[in-house]
Amino acid sequence: MASSLTSPKTIAIIMDTNVPHPMGPISLGIVEIARDTYLRPNVPGEYGIVVLDLEDHNLPQIDVVSGNIASSEQADQALTQWQKEISKHSGFVFLFPFYPWSYCNPIKNSICILPPEIWKRKPVMVMGYGKIDEQWDPVKNELRTMKKKSLSMMKGFMESKEMRMAKTDPMPEFPVYQDYWECWEKGGLNFHGGQQTELWESTAWNRCQEGVMWMVEDIERSAKKK
């Protein structure tokens, strides 16, 4: 239990289900296994882990040219609530789909609409997911080379905001086999198992463990300095 004299420590997983089908339910499934199996066992019991879906927050969009946010009562209220929510948490894990040579704009927007000091020096980790269209070749490792650039691009963007990136290399990835993707696409049994689980264990499990353990250490170091 957290002391009544200290704020509870929480790690927020930020995701967006407002994406083309079936990425919404797939991302929910990934968040569930990442939170319960890969992250939760590696953080102290008094830490909370919460999931924030951008779809639930109706955030205003920042103008990419001017950097301004169109003001309205609804936008101002959503922005105020988002700032209050983000200010509660000690660290963040971002999940987003692989984009070819591009940033994940909803995630980027959710960061840019807040004052830089809200995010500054907060420990963060990024996780990506996407469909495997061909047979995975761990030797050549050429598949999705272009799509995987989105992870490093988002990492660079967050570092430019002076966020502290988790010390995990490579970053956690959740590649989805085509047959599982099609199952989700058709609204069939939305589960993972067998080869899919084995693949995630090799591309995400240890990386998530390593990353979140580093985040906890960073949060604890920061708490001691206060």
Give the single-character DSSP code of 202: I
The CATH code that applies to domain 10-221 is: 3.40.50.360
Question: What is the Cβ-side half-sphere exposure of residue 185, based on CA atoms within 13 angstroms?
Answer: 9
Tell me what pLDDT residue 4 has.
36
Element (H, E) at 126: strand 123-132
pTM: 0.89
Note the pLDDT of residue 2. 38
Please state at what angle helix 105-112 crosses helix 149-160, rounded to 10 degrees: 0
- The residue whose two tokens read 């949060």 is 219
Query: What is the residue-level pLDDT of the chain in tens, covering all 226 positions?
Result: 333 344 689 999 999 999 888 889 999 999 999 999 999 999 999 999 999 999 999 999 988 767 788 778 998 999 999 999 999 999 999 999 987 667 788 999 999 999 999 999 999 999 999 888 655 455 555 444 445 678 888 999 999 999 999 988 889 999 998 888 888 888 766 666 788 888 999 999 999 999 999 999 999 998 887 6
pLDDT at residue 69 in the model:
83
Q: What pLDDT score does 35 carry?
A: 97
User: Rounded distance, CA 36 to CA 201, Å?
Assistant: 14
Each domain of the chain, given as residue ranges in start order, spans 10-221
CB-facing half-sphere around the CA of 97: CA atoms within 13 A: 21
25 vs 187: CA distance, rounded Å: 9
**CA neighbor of 8 nearest in space, from 121, 89, 106:** 89
